[in-house]
Structure 1
Amino acid sequence: METKNYNDQNLKKPYQVKLSKLTAPDRIFRDNFKSDLQNLPKYSKEEFISKFPHDLLIK
């Protein structure tokens, strides 16, 4: 492999590359209601996550 700068000139520089697998989060949150608190009935943590998997649980 070659190392080049933005002007497409070869650079005589050693380098190392490390690939690592990213870990996906357990849940991805939507931010539709970031500024508004929801007036929802009280659910247990498990119930809330099952009913609203993309909403942040605020206590």
Structure 2
Amino acid sequence: MTTPDNWQKSSYSGGSDGNNCLELASTPTTLHLRESDHPATTLTTTRTPLANLLEGIRTGDLGVGR
């Protein structure tokens, strides 16, 4: 699987050119996340699992230890 070339830097990264940020790229069916200082390592997922993870983080209910 190839990853897209249209990476976007997180808005929380500030305006600097530093490499301390999360980057996101998407295709019609997948989402790709990477840390800018380690771009060779990419997490690939789809919208639903990522949305579920973020909701679990927000609510504090990740189902750990059940």
- Same fold at TM > 0.5: no
- TM-score class, shorter: under 0.3
Instruction: Calculate the TM-score normalised by the size of structure 1.
Output: 0.20
Where is the helix percentage greater, Structure 1 or Structure 2?
2
Structure number with greater CO (CA < 8 Å, separation at least 6) is 1
- Higher Cα Rg, which structure: 1
Instruction: Calculate the TM-score normalised by the size of structure 2.
Output: 0.19
